[in-house]
Chains A and B, each alone.
Chain A
Amino acid sequence: MTIASTTPYKLASAKDLFALTKPRVMTLVIFTAICGLLAAPGAIHPVIGFTAILATSLGAGASAALNQWYEYDIDAVMKRTADRPLPAGRMDRDTALHFGIGLSVFSTLLMGVAVNWLSAIILAFSIFFYAVVYTIWLKRSTPQNIVIGGAAGAFPPVIGWVAVTGEVTLMPILLFAIIFFWTPPHFWALALFMNSDYSKAGVPMMPVVAGRQSTRNQIAVYSVVLALCAIAPFAIGATGLVYGVAAIMLSLAFAVLSFRVRASRTDVAAEMVAEKQLFKFSILYLFVLFAALVADRMIFA
């Protein structure tokens, strides 16, 4: 019996272990993975499809746990993250590490055994990319952290697609590119009006290092590249009109909002209306774009 050798406050509750997986972030991962799976040509048995989404979600949860294991010091400084299980002292770091590694191994094996090994390899690489390349290596060392780290969040639709087809073609690469180029304007818009929190934590976010105006200019440039990637599936004839119209309208709106951010000059967070609008719209943008992709496939396939 080990009761007498462990303090009760360090035995993580099930609720805190669940919180360690960042369930809110996971909703976007699950959604884009499902869209990749449904938009892919071919059929997948519902049980195998469910398992692919489950494994992807568990992999995302594993990445989040490893991220929080490493970033407990940053999380403690930022108001938004100070109440997470580790900085709040409700869980010890070893528990988070073991939970993260265990979940990584389990999700990868589940994907490999039940679905296919190519999607398992991509899943394993995405966990490695988020936990090691982004969290441990880039986040604290370069203001390009979001750009490169955004790649980790771009894997779920690729995994969903490969779960069905078993191969990586141009279309899943375009889906990857959409999320990859969507991430910087999405996060930088947030970082512009949350600047003080990131500065306090010493994270070299673009607005802190390069300044607000430089960040605003880059947001505008990324919105143009994003529009090109979003419209590309329609332009090359891989999708139908439903996706094409949605991609053009949404990307136009995204670009207009981004150029309004570029024109903004304020340094006061409360006055950053354009930045807040872009941040809110960016979430809607991704959801509607991917929903349109699935609807297009359902209608035209």
Chain B
Amino acid sequence: MDNKDLAMTPEEQKAYQAKQKQRALIMAGLLFFLVVLFYLITFVKISSSIS
């Protein structure tokens, strides 16, 4: 593979990293949301099985 063809210009690299950062932030938000959701689901399931 020719590395010259694959290398990014500084602008391209900046744009790529900005996209990566945006996706990482959204993924973090989604994971936090899922943690809360699974906590609530577990809470509801345990409560209903006790009652």
Binding site for B on A (CB under 8 A): 3-8, 11, 13-14, 45, 47-48, 51, 54, 113-114
| Docked-complex contact A8 and B44, CB < 8 angstroms | no
Chain B interface secondary structure, helix, strand, loop or mixed? Answer: helix
Residues of A within 8 A of B16 (CB): 3, 6, 8, 11
Residues of A within 8 A of B8 (CB): 3-4, 7-8
Binding site for A on B (CB under 8 A): 3, 6-8, 12-13, 15-17, 19-20, 22-23, 26, 37, 40-41, 43-45, 48
Q: Which residue of B lies closest to A46 (CB)?
A: B44
Chain A interface secondary structure, helix, strand, loop or mixed? Answer: helix
Residues of A within 8 A of B7 (CB): 4
| Docked-complex contact B44 and A45, CB < 8 angstroms | yes
| Docked-complex contact B26 and A45, CB < 8 angstroms | no
17 contacting pairs across A/B (C-beta < 8 A): A3-B8, A3-B16, A5-B6, A6-B16, A7-B6, A7-B12, A8-B12, A8-B19, A11-B20, A13-B23, A14-B26, A47-B37, A47-B44, A48-B41, A48-B44, A54-B37, A114-B45
| Docked-complex contact B44 and A3, CB < 8 angstroms | no
Per the bound structure, the CA–CA distance linking A11 and B20 in Å amounts to 8
Per the bound structure, the CA–CA distance linking A5 and B48 in Å amounts to 51
Residues of A within 8 A of B15 (CB): 8
- In the complex, how many angstroms separate the beta carbon of B45 from the nearest chain A beta carbon? 8
